[in-house]
Amino acid sequence: CLGRMPGVMSCVGIVLAFIGLILLAGPENNLLALGVGEMITLASALAIAAEIILISAWAGKVDVRRVTVVQLATASLVAFAAMKPAGEEVPPLTPALLGVALGLGIFSAIIQVTMNWAQRSVSPTRATLIYTGEPVWGGIFGRLVGERLPLLALLGCVLILAGVLVSELKWKRKSPPQVSTNDDAQPLTDLADRREP
Protein backbone atom coordinates (compact mmCIF):
# COMPACT_ATOMS: atom_id res chain seq x y z
CA CYS A 1 0.00 0.00 0.00
CA LEU A 2 2.71 2.51 0.88
CA GLY A 3 5.01 3.39 -2.00
CA ARG A 4 2.47 2.49 -4.71
CA MET A 5 0.99 5.21 -6.87
CA PRO A 6 -2.71 5.02 -7.75
CA GLY A 7 -3.50 4.09 -11.36
CA VAL A 8 -4.78 6.46 -14.05
CA MET A 9 -8.43 5.49 -13.60
CA SER A 10 -8.15 5.83 -9.83
CA CYS A 11 -6.83 9.37 -10.28
CA VAL A 12 -9.72 10.19 -12.63
CA GLY A 13 -12.12 8.76 -10.04
CA ILE A 14 -10.55 10.88 -7.30
CA VAL A 15 -10.97 14.06 -9.37
CA LEU A 16 -14.61 13.24 -10.17
CA ALA A 17 -15.39 12.45 -6.53
CA PHE A 18 -13.68 15.65 -5.34
CA ILE A 19 -15.66 17.82 -7.76
CA GLY A 20 -18.80 15.95 -6.71
CA LEU A 21 -18.12 16.66 -3.03
CA ILE A 22 -17.67 20.36 -3.78
CA LEU A 23 -21.00 20.46 -5.61
CA LEU A 24 -22.73 18.43 -2.90
CA ALA A 25 -21.45 20.78 -0.21
CA GLY A 26 -23.13 23.61 -2.12
CA PRO A 27 -20.74 26.54 -1.76
CA GLU A 28 -22.64 29.78 -1.18
CA ASN A 29 -22.86 32.04 -4.23
CA ASN A 30 -20.89 29.35 -6.10
CA LEU A 31 -17.68 30.67 -4.54
CA LEU A 32 -15.09 28.57 -2.77
CA ALA A 33 -13.76 30.11 0.42
CA LEU A 34 -11.13 28.95 2.88
CA GLY A 35 -12.39 29.87 6.34
CA VAL A 36 -12.04 28.27 9.76
CA GLY A 37 -14.64 25.60 9.00
CA GLU A 38 -12.94 24.67 5.74
CA MET A 39 -9.56 24.45 7.48
CA ILE A 40 -11.02 22.12 10.12
CA THR A 41 -12.58 20.03 7.34
CA LEU A 42 -9.23 19.79 5.51
CA ALA A 43 -7.45 18.78 8.72
CA SER A 44 -10.11 16.12 9.31
CA ALA A 45 -9.72 14.88 5.73
CA LEU A 46 -5.96 14.54 6.21
CA ALA A 47 -6.51 12.62 9.46
CA ILE A 48 -8.98 10.27 7.77
CA ALA A 49 -6.59 9.78 4.82
CA ALA A 50 -3.80 8.88 7.25
CA GLU A 51 -6.15 6.45 9.01
CA ILE A 52 -7.09 4.76 5.73
CA ILE A 53 -3.45 4.42 4.65
CA LEU A 54 -2.33 3.06 8.02
CA ILE A 55 -5.22 0.60 8.27
CA SER A 56 -4.50 -0.64 4.74
CA ALA A 57 -0.84 -1.09 5.61
CA TRP A 58 -1.44 -2.90 8.91
CA ALA A 59 -4.88 -4.56 8.60
CA GLY A 60 -3.44 -7.89 7.50
CA LYS A 61 -0.84 -7.92 10.28
CA VAL A 62 -2.92 -7.14 13.39
CA ASP A 63 -6.16 -8.20 15.03
CA VAL A 64 -8.77 -5.82 13.59
CA ARG A 65 -10.98 -6.17 16.68
CA ARG A 66 -8.23 -4.84 18.93
CA VAL A 67 -7.51 -2.01 16.51
CA THR A 68 -11.22 -1.15 16.51
CA VAL A 69 -11.34 -1.05 20.32
CA VAL A 70 -8.33 1.30 20.37
CA GLN A 71 -9.87 3.51 17.64
CA LEU A 72 -13.24 3.81 19.37
CA ALA A 73 -11.72 4.32 22.83
CA THR A 74 -9.41 7.04 21.51
CA ALA A 75 -12.24 8.80 19.66
CA SER A 76 -14.43 8.63 22.78
CA LEU A 77 -11.75 10.06 25.07
CA VAL A 78 -10.85 12.86 22.63
CA ALA A 79 -14.53 13.75 22.16
CA PHE A 80 -15.09 13.76 25.94
CA ALA A 81 -12.01 15.94 26.51
CA ALA A 82 -13.19 18.38 23.80
CA MET A 83 -16.61 18.88 25.40
CA LYS A 84 -15.56 21.62 27.85
CA PRO A 85 -13.56 23.70 25.33
CA ALA A 86 -16.49 23.44 22.90
CA GLY A 87 -18.89 24.73 25.57
CA GLU A 88 -20.77 21.44 25.91
CA GLU A 89 -21.97 19.96 29.17
CA VAL A 90 -22.17 16.30 30.11
CA PRO A 91 -25.88 15.45 29.90
CA PRO A 92 -27.57 13.82 32.89
CA LEU A 93 -27.48 10.04 32.72
CA THR A 94 -30.93 8.66 32.03
CA PRO A 95 -32.00 5.20 30.88
CA ALA A 96 -32.92 6.66 27.47
CA LEU A 97 -29.48 8.27 27.07
CA LEU A 98 -27.72 5.06 28.11
CA GLY A 99 -29.82 3.08 25.61
CA VAL A 100 -28.96 5.48 22.79
CA ALA A 101 -25.26 5.49 23.74
CA LEU A 102 -25.19 1.70 23.91
CA GLY A 103 -26.92 1.29 20.54
CA LEU A 104 -24.68 3.88 18.90
CA GLY A 105 -21.60 2.25 20.40
CA ILE A 106 -22.56 -1.24 19.21
CA PHE A 107 -23.34 -0.12 15.66
CA SER A 108 -20.20 2.04 15.50
CA ALA A 109 -18.10 -0.95 16.60
CA ILE A 110 -19.72 -3.24 14.01
CA ILE A 111 -19.19 -0.70 11.22
CA GLN A 112 -15.57 -0.02 12.24
CA VAL A 113 -14.68 -3.73 12.51
CA THR A 114 -16.22 -4.31 9.07
CA MET A 115 -14.28 -1.41 7.55
CA ASN A 116 -10.99 -2.53 9.09
CA TRP A 117 -11.59 -6.11 7.96
CA ALA A 118 -12.52 -5.08 4.40
CA GLN A 119 -9.43 -2.91 4.01
CA ARG A 120 -7.29 -6.04 4.09
CA SER A 121 -8.22 -6.62 0.45
CA VAL A 122 -8.98 -3.08 -0.76
CA SER A 123 -6.36 -0.51 -1.72
CA PRO A 124 -6.32 2.83 0.13
CA THR A 125 -7.41 4.60 -3.07
CA ARG A 126 -10.45 2.37 -3.51
CA ALA A 127 -11.32 2.63 0.18
CA THR A 128 -11.20 6.42 -0.01
CA LEU A 129 -13.42 6.49 -3.08
CA ILE A 130 -15.90 4.14 -1.45
CA TYR A 131 -16.00 6.38 1.63
CA THR A 132 -16.81 9.40 -0.54
CA GLY A 133 -20.18 7.76 -1.13
CA GLU A 134 -21.14 8.48 2.49
CA PRO A 135 -22.65 11.93 1.78
CA VAL A 136 -24.56 10.42 -1.13
CA TRP A 137 -26.23 7.97 1.25
CA GLY A 138 -26.87 10.86 3.63
CA GLY A 139 -28.58 12.72 0.80
CA ILE A 140 -30.68 9.69 -0.11
CA PHE A 141 -31.87 9.18 3.47
CA GLY A 142 -32.43 12.94 3.81
CA ARG A 143 -34.64 12.82 0.74
CA LEU A 144 -36.62 9.95 2.27
CA VAL A 145 -37.48 12.15 5.26
CA GLY A 146 -38.46 15.12 3.09
CA GLU A 147 -35.25 17.10 2.55
CA ARG A 148 -34.77 18.32 -1.01
CA LEU A 149 -31.34 18.62 -2.57
CA PRO A 150 -30.66 21.37 -5.11
CA LEU A 151 -29.74 20.43 -8.66
CA LEU A 152 -26.01 21.09 -8.11
CA ALA A 153 -26.00 18.75 -5.11
CA LEU A 154 -27.67 16.02 -7.16
CA LEU A 155 -25.04 16.51 -9.87
CA GLY A 156 -22.41 16.20 -7.14
CA CYS A 157 -23.92 12.87 -6.06
CA VAL A 158 -23.78 11.62 -9.65
CA LEU A 159 -20.12 12.67 -9.96
CA ILE A 160 -19.21 10.93 -6.71
CA LEU A 161 -20.83 7.69 -7.84
CA ALA A 162 -19.18 8.08 -11.26
CA GLY A 163 -15.83 8.52 -9.53
CA VAL A 164 -16.28 5.27 -7.62
CA LEU A 165 -17.29 3.41 -10.79
CA VAL A 166 -14.52 4.91 -12.95
CA SER A 167 -11.90 3.95 -10.38
CA GLU A 168 -12.85 0.30 -10.87
CA LEU A 169 -12.11 0.43 -14.60
CA LYS A 170 -8.72 -0.79 -15.74
CA TRP A 171 -6.59 1.25 -18.14
CA LYS A 172 -5.26 -1.19 -20.74
CA ARG A 173 -2.01 -0.27 -22.42
CA LYS A 174 -1.30 -1.49 -25.91
CA SER A 175 1.67 -3.78 -25.83
CA PRO A 176 4.26 -3.31 -28.59
CA PRO A 177 4.44 -6.10 -31.21
CA GLN A 178 6.76 -8.84 -30.13
CA VAL A 179 9.81 -9.53 -32.27
CA SER A 180 10.90 -13.12 -32.65
CA THR A 181 14.26 -13.84 -31.07
CA ASN A 182 14.56 -17.31 -32.56
CA ASP A 183 18.14 -17.68 -33.84
CA ASP A 184 17.13 -20.59 -36.10
CA ALA A 185 14.74 -18.43 -38.12
CA GLN A 186 16.01 -17.80 -41.65
CA PRO A 187 15.67 -14.49 -43.47
CA LEU A 188 12.94 -14.30 -46.13
CA THR A 189 15.53 -13.63 -48.83
CA ASP A 190 17.10 -17.05 -48.18
CA LEU A 191 13.72 -18.73 -48.60
CA ALA A 192 13.08 -16.86 -51.84
CA ASP A 193 16.48 -17.92 -53.20
CA ARG A 194 15.71 -21.58 -52.51
CA ARG A 195 12.47 -21.47 -54.51
CA GLU A 196 14.19 -20.30 -57.67
CA PRO A 197 15.36 -23.20 -59.93
The model's pTM? 0.55
Is the pLDDT confidence value at 192 over 60? Answer: no
CA-based nearest residue to 41, from 140, 155, 135: 135
Q: What's the average model confidence in pLDDT over 41-57?
A: 77
Is the pLDDT confidence value at 82 over 80? Answer: yes
Q: Residue-wise over 13-44: b if at least 16 C-beta within 10 A, else e?
A: bbebbebbbebbeeeeeeeeeeeeeeeeeeee
pLDDT band at 30 (very low <50, low <70, confident <90, very high): low
Least confident range from 101-115, 126-140, 149-163, 170-184: namely: 170-184
Contacts of 6 (CB under 8 A, 6+ apart): 14, 123, 125
Q: What's the average model confidence in pLDDT over 165-184?
A: 64
Output the pLDDT for position 193: 54
Q: What's the average model confidence in pLDDT over 138-164?
A: 81
Contacts of 165 (CB under 8 A, 6+ apart): 13
* Centroid of chain to Cα 116: 13
Is the pLDDT confidence value at 12 over 80? Answer: yes
What confidence tens digit (pLDDT) does each residue in 31-44 have? 666 777 777 877 87
Output the pLDDT for position 99: 94
Q: What's the average model confidence in pLDDT over 116-143?
A: 76
CA-based nearest residue to 67, from 106, 124, 116: 116
